[in-house]
């Protein structure tokens, strides 16, 4: 017998602070407010001291600091393997905060609402991946406060709904690996000095701002932008990605607050299972054990999930579900599982998805098979969604295919 994967909500293991009464309580309150005022006036909001200025339970009314994100929430001790079991199936809020045309709405989706987030929880999702374009909207290297505040608002809606939130630096114009040759002719397919400077700065700003958030917030190093083959050799390309992942870990860890033990997601090469499980790939190191995930994406076979008509030498695959189709999926997921077991960290399947023009029966088979393969191997599957399977307009209805997938998925009891 199987257990439904969406039963129950994860609750923090941390107990609320002890209550006090009488004069002692007033004394503590005055002291806390004084420290908060000192922090607001004298301490930069991104510093460790500001992050530690006050601790309140999640959802409680905190002091009037420069940002509520600087209040340190109680944080449960949660290792990555345990978290993977709690994170269930996830969904991306794609083509929204990651768009590079106009903040949040530039690619045709409306602003994210609290009701939309609640609808995702009601559908059974337990993790939301929140892709964000930061560099596009930065001003002289600084992320505008209103942008950080807006992302924080969405993060809070997600975690208040009982879900985990994964926050990243997404494509953002391809500046990390200079992947757009016309825009980056001199540094194409490399991690340039300018990219390194910005990468360190942005992660320092992001991590510092969110340092007080509890274990439900995870950071992901970057998206798929890992084409560093312009560095000279494949070995150099893999070494460059290891450097980028290491910079991410080191930068986040030193920002203080809860970031010293936050769950982090490092990126596989091209987020491709074959390239990530290669002997050339090397993981970065962390000062905290069992707090890392490895991120890969799954869009296989592309001729089914992404191709809707015969183009050039690529012949479109109209359906999915044959014995050979299933064997290919299991072969790749077995390879990823072997990598995870060997390195003792779970996989975060940060994106998987299939074009909505394919027949419903095959879409249901493919999505269900990918999620089930991930669950059976203690991985976290996260659907790529841009408004095609879940309406961005009230009442935020799911497509028939997605409803069927969400109703039938289950996690093995073993």
CATH value at residue 286: 3.20.20.80
| Same domain membership, residue 262 and residue 154 | yes
| Same domain membership, residue 351 and residue 254 | yes
| Same domain membership, residue 57 and residue 86 | no
| Same domain membership, residue 105 and residue 47 | no
For residues 104 and 111, is the Cβ–Cβ distance under 8 A?
yes
For residues 100 and 136, is the Cβ–Cβ distance under 8 A?
yes
pLDDT per position as a tens digit, 165-197? 999 999 999 999 999 999 999 999 999 999 999
The residues, ordered by sequence, that sit 6+ positions from 95 with a Cβ below 8 Å of its Cβ are 107, 108, 109, 386, 387
Q: Is the dihedral of CA 192, 194, 197, 203 positive or negative?
A: negative
pLDDT at 60: 34
* Res 18 pLDDT > 60: no
| Same domain membership, residue 272 and residue 166 | yes
Domain annotation covers residue 10? no
Instruction: Pick the last residue of a domain from 62, 97, 115.
Output: 62
CA 61 to centroid of chain Cα atoms: 27
| Same domain membership, residue 281 and residue 183 | yes
Q: Is the dihedral of CA 60, 64, 68, 71 positive or negative?
A: negative
| Same domain membership, residue 82 and residue 45 | no
pLDDT at 264: 98
Q: How confident is the model at residue 47 (pLDDT cuts 50, 70, 90)?
A: very low
Strand partners, 166: 129, 218
Name the domain count of the chain.
2
Domain annotation covers residue 1? no
Domain annotation covers residue 395? yes
Residue 57 lies in domain? 18-62
* Res 94 pLDDT > 70: yes
pLDDT at 17: 32
Instruction: Give the pLDDT mean for 214-224.
Output: 98
| Same domain membership, residue 306 and residue 165 | yes
Please report which helix (H) or strand (E) contains residue 265, including its range: strand 264-267
Domain annotation covers residue 67? no
Q: Are strands 3-4 and 410-411 parallel, antiparallel or unpaired?
A: antiparallel
* Whole-number percent of the chain with pLDDT over 90: 80
Give the residue with greater pLDDT, 143 vs 70: 143
How many Cα neighbours within 13 Å face the side chain of 69?
26
pLDDT per position as a tens digit, 297-346? 999 999 999 999 998 888 999 999 999 999 999 999 999 999 999 999 99
Domain annotation covers residue 321? yes
Report how far residue 243's alpha carbon sits from residue 258's, in angstroms, rounded to the nearest whole number: 23
Report how far residue 298's alpha carbon sits from residue 381's, in angstroms, rounded to the nearest whole number: 9
Report how far residue 278's alpha carbon sits from residue 280's, in angstroms, rounded to the nearest whole number: 5
Q: How confident is the model at residue 20 (pLDDT cuts 50, 70, 90)?
A: very low
pTM equals 0.84
């Amino acid at each position: 017998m199987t257990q439904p994967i969406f039963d129950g909500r994860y609750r923090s293991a941390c107990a609320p602070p002890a209550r006090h009464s009488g004069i002692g309580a007033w004394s503590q309150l005055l002291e806390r407010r004084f420290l908060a005022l000192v922090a607001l006036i004298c301490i930069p909001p991104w510093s460790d001291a500001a992050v530690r200025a006050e601790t309140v339970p999640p959802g409680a009314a905190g002091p009037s600091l420069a940002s509520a994100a600087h209040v340190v929430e109680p944080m449960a001790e949660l290792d990555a393997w345990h978290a993977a079991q709690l994170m269930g199936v996830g969904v991306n809020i794609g083509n929204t905060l990651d768009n590079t045309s106009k903040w949040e709405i530039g690619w045709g989706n409306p602003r994210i609402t609290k009701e939309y987030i609640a609808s995702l929880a009601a559908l059974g999702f337990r993790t939301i991946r929140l892709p964000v374009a930061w560099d596009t909207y930065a001003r002289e290297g600084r992320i505008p406060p209103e942008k950080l505040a807006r992302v924080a608002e969405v993060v809070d809606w997600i975690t208040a709904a009982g879900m985990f939130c994964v926050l990243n630096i997404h494509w953002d114009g391809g500046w990390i690996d200079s992947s757009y040759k016309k825009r980056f002719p001199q540094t194409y397919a490399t991690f340039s000095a300018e990219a390194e400077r910005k990468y360190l700065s942005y992660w320092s700003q992001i991590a510092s701002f969110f340092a007080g958030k509890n274990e439900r917030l995870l950071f992901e190093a970057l998206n798929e932008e890992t084409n560093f083959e312009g560095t000279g050799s494949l070995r150099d390309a893999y070494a460059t990605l290891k450097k980028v992942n290491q910079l991410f870990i080191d930068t986040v860890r030193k920002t203080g607050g809860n970031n010293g033990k936050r769950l982090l997601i490092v990126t596989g090469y091209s987020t491709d299972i074959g390239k990530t499980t290669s002997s050339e790939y090397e993981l970065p190191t962390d000062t905290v054990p069992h707090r890392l995930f490895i991120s890969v994406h799954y869009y296989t076979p592309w001729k089914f999930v992404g191709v809707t008509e015969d183009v050039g030498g690529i012949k479109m695959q109209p359906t999915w579900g044959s014995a050979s189709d299933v064997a290919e999926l299991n072969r790749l997921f077995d390879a990823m599982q072997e990598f995870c077991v060997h390195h003792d960290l779970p996989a975060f399947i940060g994106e998987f998805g299939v074009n909505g023009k394919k027949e419903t029966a095959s879409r249901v088979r493919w999505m269900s098979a990918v999620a089930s393969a991930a669950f059976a191997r203690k991985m976290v599957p996260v659907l790529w969604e841009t408004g095609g399977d879940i309406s961005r307009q009230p009442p935020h209805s799911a497509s028939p295919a997605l409803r069927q997938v969400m109703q039938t998925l289950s996690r093995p009891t073993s």
